[in-house]
Amino acid sequence: MSKYVAFPENPDWMLYLPEHLHDTPLNQLAIPGCHDSGAYWFDRSGGLFPDASNALKCLYSVFGRCTCIYRWAKTQNMNFCQQLKAGIRYFDLRVTTKPYTEDLYFHHTLYADKVEPSLRDMNTFLDAHPKEVIILDFNHFNKEMEITRDDQLISMILNIFGDKVCPLQDMSSLTLNTLWSRKLQVIVIYHREDIKSKYPQIWPGSVICSPWINTKDVNELVHGLDNHYDPHPEKHNKNMLFSYQGVLTPDTRFIVANCCGSLKTDLAHKASPAVVKWLSKKAAGPNKMNICLIDFADQYDFMSTILALNQ
């Protein structure tokens, strides 16, 4: 299988799903996502984000302007507009503050793009594709994101997407037909339980199960994914979204030992073909495949494989 498979764009794949799936809850559809969606570009001169580990700070001091760290922090080739056109509908978003500015930034060890213009780009796409629905999962907040910055981020989200934001509701009613009839296109998940009473439009992190298989070994990854994929009803909560993280994760020691390599060449190129092969044998539906995310989602036939599960 080629590492760099050119796939057709899928900007309206939800619109063209088989009609019987229009009344299927979103947690029973196969939805492509990408891991660390905002980690496609970094400000190499911006330094490390506030909660970087001491080990990474040492690496930064040794390797200078992030050349090594950049290669290990980057998880995607496509920017948000390209991800949307390709068919990505689940976005794994990490947001942080930055010293000496009120702006908020995406991050993955390094500072990435500003949040506000990125969200506006997403909204422009949704305006042009009114039948597409996206899930924005804001998670991994660092200590600098205090409650006042939570309010800043949530206000920004609600102001940009406006009436497109879907309020919290029962999963069984979360179907495309229901969303389309109400012109709702954005589900916002926010992993801070203390804000759910303040913002009824925001879904708490408890609505999604997203087990992380913390390993550098591809066989352990596939075994772990299989353990979570189980068609028995008691294994899954019908009122939750379920995300399969098809990624390998380096630790600092691994990065140091492979400092001339990258996340793409040393891990993603091992994980992606194995995950796609595993994915191709699965099915969408109750207690089965729902969201799956990988690094470098433009490769290894990931998009066509997961979308083909929606039969």
Active site residues: 35, 108
Cα 257 to Cα 59, 265, 266, distances in angstroms = 12, 14, 11
- Of the candidates 86, 83, 103, 106, the one whose C-alpha atom is nearest the C-alpha of residue 95 is 106
Residue showing tokens 């060449």 = 265
* 3-class DSSP assignment, residue 190: strand
* Rounded Cα distance, 93 and 40, in Å: 12
Residue showing tokens 């989602």 = 297
- In sequence order, the 6+-apart residues with CB closer than 8 A to the CB of 239 are 170, 171, 172, 207
